[in-house]
Structure 1
């Protein structure tokens, strides 16, 4: 997830008109304060789960450094979902927070946003890229990819299994996107064996459990 240029926080404003002062009362808030209230922490996970907050290190342009996306047929499928998120992003400190919840067998990277996702466009992109090929060079033989929607425990969440078939072997990752009120959460999960982690997990169920717990916390906050 990228970091973005600053955005102004909400302010408590006193306005003076014609010699009469009108004060707007209440507790000053800014998006980051609510974000911290609803974000799951290490204490929200079973013993043995490896939990880490992620702080992106932006480059000079203000975006997190990352390699360019692979080419694809149809064009734009290898990073299509990311582009949809970035197109509607609100930018600045306190606009988003990210963490990893790692089990032996399932590593989930969750991002909580103080703005809503364009879920209609995400669904349209996933449908357009239901089957595509990805490659490093136009002369390469394409690697088959599929994007399949799967059922999750929350009706409004978009959950996808994306599978790469390489040398006859299928490798899958999972995505989840959901708006909750004025906020949103999205995540990606990888099948990552790590015997050094005491807590055991399996995909997609462990990932769905994490995404559901995070969405419920946002709704309660």
Structure 2
């Protein structure tokens, strides 16, 4: 299947995607077995380009999540959390559990993306995993998600130094820098990622 898909679209990055890999609750789906499966596919010529961890989680333990991601990362492939939902009937516990998982995934250098498997109560794969109630109210889990998203944005402002430089540390992502000058505003966009962790942006003003 991998070889045929690659023939149809050589530019597509092909993932192996599985569940119960990251939480330590299912010995049949542990990271070690997932790694063995991926290596077996690679040895048979499958052009595996990434690892999908579905992320249907209940009661996550940060150390276990981190350890599982470490074991998967040994393959050197990008990891995506492809179907994240975190269940708990109590929305405050759900918020705490969601934060545990998101912090571990966001902090791990091999994780390149996180996809939610839903957010509205009417359209969820599992019960008690929603971030938005049926009436449109953002519940405690949704508020926690938005707070983390805001925390992980980099917004800086200030003045250039005597050398005309302004330095800052920020998260990976897309940036727009704007400089106010007597003649108007000058803007420039750039991307910071693991392949380009240090950026020097020159603006002629």
Higher relative contact order (CA 8 A, sep 6+): 1
Same fold (TM over 0.5): no
Could you say which TM-score interval applies, normalised by the shorter chain? under 0.3
TM-score by length of 2: 0.25
